[in-house]
Structure formats: C-alpha cells, structure tokens
Chains A and B, each alone.
Chain A
C-alpha cells in the first residue's frame, strides 16, 4: 500500500493508483477533460495538473502513479494559474455561445470557466472554422467547439471498438474526423452515441426532437427495454416526456449504450399509442370503457370455461413486460382461470 498526503489529508491507496484516484478516494475533486477510467490515461488536456512537493514541474494527476510519501496540492496558486492558462488557450479557439449552446449545463468547459473566473480569452488569433457534420441520423459533430481532448476517439477505439473516429491533420489543423474524411454517415459508425455521451463540450451533440435545457430535466435511472444485456440508463424528462437517454455505469454496461437504447425512445410518446380499450363491434375495433372491455373478457372466460373447460383458454405472456407483470399473468392463468396454458416468446 502507498501512503500520501493530498491537501493535508492522509490517504492510502493500492500500488499503481494515480494521484487522481487517490484524491477521488477522499472526496477531493480534480478537474479533467480527457480522463475516463475506461481508457488508458493519456494526459492530453493537462487541466488535471497538481503540485507535487519536490517535483520540477506540475504533474498530471490522471497519469502519475501515487508514490509513498508524496505530498500533493490540488488547488495551489501555481496550479490555479496553470489551469487558468489552459482555459485561456482553449477559449482562444472556442465559440462563447453558451446562451444557445445545447450542452450548457452539462459542459465541463463552462463549469471550469465559472470555477476559475475565466470570462473570455486574452489571446487574439486565428480561429478554426469547420462545417458541422450532420450526416448521422442521431448526432452532430461540430469541430469548431472541439477541444481535442480525444475522448470520443478513445471511446470509439478502446471501449466501443468501432474505430470510426480518429485524429486528422496536425498542429493547428488537428481535428476529429473519420478515415478519409468521408463524413460520419459513410464511416463504420454504428450510431451508439457513446462518443456523444463522453464529449465534455458541445462538439458532439444528440439531434434533439425538441428544445430542453439540461437543468430543466428530471433524471430517472432505469433499465433499457431492448435486448437482454440490461444496460442501465437515465431518462431525461421534461413536461412528462422523455427528451434524451444517457448511459449510466451499470454492472453490465460500463456506461455504454447502443443505438436503440440511446436514441430509439420515440415510441413511448408516439401519437399512435393505444389510449383507450377497443372492442370489436360489427367487425370493427371501436373505443370502449375499461368496464365494458373487462365485462367482455370476463364473460368470455366464464363462457369458455363452462363450455370447454379451463384448458380451452391460453395465453402468451411477454418477454418485454415486467417480472411483476409476468407473475400476475401466470397467476391469473393458473390460480384464477385454472390452466397451465401460458407461454411466451422465449423460443422466438
């Protein structure tokens, strides 16, 4: 075990743990843009720099392993000065359109500029200009907002393993693109949106169905309703409607989702949803009350049971329903109707 001191607090961590992980352990937050515990650390954004006693320069907390006896300051004057300089340089090439930017409220750059009182850049130089890539059905890529932290590239290559995104060009011209610059729609992208979820600024944004701000939504954690992986996710809700779905680091999904879980939620509020019971009358399905529908069903069950016995009633339960729904369906069939004729599409 390694013993070190951060901001005056003693902390003990396993061999190999980074300064960032040690700080996290005692609740000290060190800001990051490019760090994600699912990637190999690459220390490219430098915003996580900290002062280590005896070190010649500031060190990146996300890459440097904690060592025995280390004494670390995470918000010293030198650290704050360095972070402000980094933000100043990022802002030199980042539009200040927070009033209309859809990432506002979920933007790490906005949060850090607020934290370190950075209103604007002190540099006046060339600004990058790119056309927004809107070719994907579910998200847009705006390189003018990109801070080149590389999270999207590493997410795509190390975690999602689709290898659709990469760094293109060098120096000032560096930007995120797809192989041969053919646009996202022509790449190997599978629209999982995992790059969008980790983008710390507004460069990768979901295409919104309607307007909402991140501070306006309620978040509800639930389990995805598509395949059997059981990914955990958050539904972002405004005015009784799902606006967006974000991944949660659940036991089995490690914070990943696929295109269906992330983007295919429109069915919930679709106008074609059934809103009232329907009963077939004169060959047509017509709207009815619950009482009327229940009467028809209950009378039919009684009639079939009396005439042909309970085994003349059968049911298909649902692999998409709740466990609780399935339990009461099987109980209704077995305990109340009196038959074991209940199955579901496990075979289909």
Chain B
C-alpha cells in the first residue's frame, strides 16, 4: 500500500476494485463500511455483487478481465470534463501526452459495451473520483490475477496521478495483500529478480554488496518464478524443488499440470501438515507454527510487527529459519544464528528500508518501512512530494480481451476468489470444526437465468468443465453474478484451479490469469 490502513479511511472518495474486502480483509472491510456510513463516497467495480457493493454510491458490475478499459474510460471522462490535476501532471509526471492520446477512444459508451455496464455509471464513477478532494484506490487480486494484471495496476496508477492523488494523505494506490507475510516475503527477496529490499540481482554493485555481506560469489542471473518453475521441471531444466509453507496442488493454476511436475522433480516440502503437495514429496520436514516461534510479519501497509512464541512446537518440529540454517551449515556455510533477532539484525544490515527497525523498537509497536535510521518514525505514506522514481510515469495502455474467452465450447466466464470462513488452501482453517460446518465444501455461484436455461436448481451437483479439467460441485443459484459469469472459490481440491490456465501468464509479472477462465456447465445426469 502507498498509504496506511488508517489513512485510506480518511479519503473523500474510495474506489474499491477487485477486492471483496469484507470477506478477504474483514477488519479493513468493517473500517471502510464505517467510513461510508460517516459520509465518504464509495465506488465499487467488481464482477460480483459483493457486500461492499451494497454500500456503494456507484456499483459497476463489470465483466471479468475488463478493468483496463474501465480505468481508461474513467480517465477519458476526467480529461473530457477537465477534472485532472494540471499542476501535478505538469510538475511531477511524464508521458501524459501519450496517455491522453490512448484514452481518447475509451469513451464511456465504447467501454460500456466492453465492461457490460451503463455508460452513465462510468461517468458518475469518474466524477466521484475526479471531483473528490482526496480519492483513494483500494484493490486486490481481482485486478492483478489477469494476463494483463500488471497493466491493470498501471492504469490505476495513471488514474491516481492524473488527479494528483499520489503522495498525499487520503490518496494513493493501495493493494490489500492477501497473506499475513506476503509483504515480508517480497521484502526479503523471495522473488527471483531481487535481493532483500527490492535490490536487483542484475545490478553489479548490489551483487557485490551481497557478496561482501555474505562472503560468497553470487549469481546475477534472474531466477524462475513459480509458474515458470513448473514448466522448467517439465522441460528437465529443474530437477529439485524445495517447497516451504506453500500448497501449489491447490493454490496454483491447472492442478493436473502441477501434479505432473511435482511427481517428476525431487521435492522437499516443509510445512505444518501433510498437505496435498506434501503427499507427493520425497522428503517432508515438520515446521513450527506462528504461535511456536519468535519473529516478525509485515502487514499490507508495510508495517513490521512482532510475532511471539506462546507454545512449544509439537514433536520434533522446528522453526523454519532453524531448518534453513542447519541445511546451510551442512552444505558448508558455517554462519550460525542464536535466535530470530540475530537473523533480523543481519536483515537490517543489508536492507536499507529496514535499517532503523529493531526488535527493541518493535516491542511497543510496529513500524512501517522505509525506516532508514533508529530515529526515523517509519513511513506510513509513500511518494510524498514526488514519486520515488522522480517523475511519475504515465503508461498508456490499450485494453486487450483475454484469450480465454471466445471458444464456443467454453462460452461462460469463471472467476475465482476466497470466502470469509476459509483461508487459502484450508491447511489451517480446515482444522476448525465450526468453520467446516459453516463452509463445508466447494461450490459454484450461478445466475438464476443461467440455472433455469440449464435446468439446474440450487444445491444440484453440476459438472464444470474447462480446457484443463473438470469438477463436480454443488450449484449455488444467486444473482450476485451476471448470467454469463460464474464463481468458484479456490480453497478446495475440487475448486477453481482444476480449471484455470497454467500456461499463459502476464508478460511482466508472470501472474496467471486466474480471474478469467472459459468454462461450460452442465447438470449432472
């Protein structure tokens, strides 16, 4: 997030898109509902009529995968009606002329057909956003999990810069991060192209810095993403895979494809339970859970917070960092750490954004990075004054429809996501009886009109097919979704990822297009 959780509630207008906030970030959802009740304006764009839609001044029930067109149309209206922040554009950005040229053709009428919404609603949304004193954008995987995910985020940044809503309180572009420490994992360079603190592995000076710090020679060749790794195993380029606290058999697209790769490579899995992925492993290591170890998590607003040991790990399970240290030691790298704090001290040495953060400071409250010195209070809002890179770069982006669609054999659009009660692949929530009573099994949301045409009643078991596979699950008939759009949560093995595409990815981030899958549905005979 560019801004903090407390800050986004102060915006005059909130634009929530691709985020089912009340189910996926329930506490933020509660806070945003309170803000709307107190008079803040709300725009919601989502293929499903989620709870936040009930609170919206404008709700745009867009066709999945059409966000780029919608954002371009909002910018078209803002420019047409002179709502842009001319001074901000003039003084702090570049690439404006090209942006203006590209969004020209995205009139509300043109885009209304693409997104399957009303042109007037697009105008209303653009005005609510453009005329607001401060306007914030809140988004989640509904924006990013597309083959044009990166570009969709860029169009949101365009929208924020166009109206001068970047680098100020109540503004910003705010992705809500889905997992407890996805921010921390990214910060630590659990990404194939960067070391900690987003320092590129391709930069000679940075590589030298880490070589000095770690006392070894390092590779400057970017590594493989998760999705590329699956392919590389198939092509014999990767022979061994170490999976730490992940369950790709449920969370990754095209389950059949993933299963083939996991069976082919030598696989080590380190986890709390014998997950669907661990069942296929060659070695499984028992790890300690969050309540069994000291350390830190970094939340969606970049705030580093303490995790504290409350109970002992069962049997011989060990904290993950201890396992990595012991393997490193056995491979001849002798560095030992006596506790998690000592690991954190090393992180501070090599990560400029973390330099001023210590366990001692975290004892009383969390700190948002960047925090360069021990005297620095942390940075709840980024890009104040001017964007971090210098001039804010407008990226002119054309809308492209997903290739998943248009196959007459799979004419319906499947989208996916999480529900309130279950979490990710259920390895944790699936162990609570009450949770499983409320949310016991996979299902598909289907519009009443479609159900009628297919002769399907609420609760019937249906067969859902895509080019990748097939699941048989119960139908939940609801007008939350439009007639040609369906939704399956991804938590269960009989879930969305049996059907999703594991081969075509976003060209920049390699994120799979999980939110748009061409499918067909039939009543089970």
Measured CB to CB, the residues of A under 8 A from B are 137-138, 158-162, 190-192, 207, 218, 220-232, 235, 237, 240-242, 250-254, 256-260, 263-270, 272-280, 285, 290, 293-294, 296-298, 300-302, 304, 307-308, 310-348
Tell whether B393 is near chain A: CB-to-CB under 8 Å: no
Nearest opposing residue in chain B for A254, CB measure: B31
Interface size class of B (residues with CB under 8 A): 35 or more
B236 → chain A closest CB, angstroms: 8
Of the candidates A158, A276, A348, which one forms a contact with B251 in the assembled complex, judged by CB atoms under 8 Å apart?
A: A348
B434 touches A263 (CB 8 A): yes
A328 touches B324 (CB 8 A): yes
B385 → chain A closest CB, angstroms: 24
- Cα A290 to Cα B232 with chains together (Å): 29
Of the candidates A137, A138, A232, A310, which one forms a contact with B219 in the assembled complex, judged by CB atoms under 8 Å apart?
A: A310
List residues of chain B with CB within 8 A of the CB of A279.
Answer: 282-283
Q: Which of B114-122, B299-307, B475-483 contacts A (4 or more CB under 8 A)?
A: B299-307
- Cα A315 to Cα B274 with chains together (Å): 18
List residues of chain B with CB within 8 A of the CB of A324.
Answer: 295-296, 321, 340, 343-344, 347
B435 touches A335 (CB 8 A): no
B366 touches A230 (CB 8 A): yes
A337 touches B331 (CB 8 A): yes
List residues of chain A with CB within 8 A of the CB of B289.
Answer: 225, 267-268, 273
Mark each residue of chain B from 323 to 335: 1 if its CB lies under 8 Å from any CB of chain A, else 0: 0111110111100
List residues of chain B with CB within 8 A of the CB of A326.
Answer: 181, 184-185, 188, 190
- Cα A254 to Cα B29 with chains together (Å): 13
A190 → chain B closest CB, angstroms: 6
B26 touches A192 (CB 8 A): yes
Q: List 18 contacting pairs A-B, 8 Å CB cutoff, sorted by A.
A: A158-B34, A220-B291, A227-B179, A228-B25, A228-B178, A228-B180, A265-B291, A268-B289, A272-B274, A294-B327, A302-B331, A316-B229, A322-B290, A324-B321, A334-B219, A345-B182, A347-B227, A347-B510
Tell whether B110 is near chain A: CB-to-CB under 8 Å: no
A229 → chain B closest CB, angstroms: 5
List residues of chain A with CB within 8 A of the CB of B279.
Answer: 285
B18 → chain A closest CB, angstroms: 14
Contacts known (A273-B273, A325-B320, A340-B201); A332 close to B31, Cβ less than 8 A: no
A229 touches B188 (CB 8 A): no
Measured CB to CB, the residues of B under 8 A from A are 4-6, 22, 24-28, 30-31, 33-34, 37, 144-145, 176-193, 195-196, 201, 210, 214, 216-219, 221-227, 229, 232-233, 237-246, 248, 251-253, 266, 268, 271-274, 278-279, 281-287, 289-293, 295-301, 303-312, 314-321, 324-328, 330-333, 337, 340, 343-344, 346-347, 365-366, 420-421, 423, 427-435, 437-438, 509-512, 514
Of the candidates B242, B244, B298, B304, which one forms a contact with A325 in the assembled complex, judged by CB atoms under 8 Å apart?
A: B244
- Cα A266 to Cα B253 with chains together (Å): 28
Contacts known (A257-B27, A324-B295); A226 close to B180, Cβ less than 8 A: yes
B420 touches A259 (CB 8 A): yes
List residues of chain A with CB within 8 A of the CB of B314.
Answer: 269, 273, 275
Of the candidates B180, B182, B304, B310, which one forms a contact with A242 in the assembled complex, judged by CB atoms under 8 Å apart?
A: B310
Contacts known (A254-B31, A298-B330, A332-B324); A225 close to B290, Cβ less than 8 A: yes
A228 touches B300 (CB 8 A): yes
List residues of chain B with CB within 8 A of the CB of A225.
Answer: 180, 289-291, 297, 307, 428
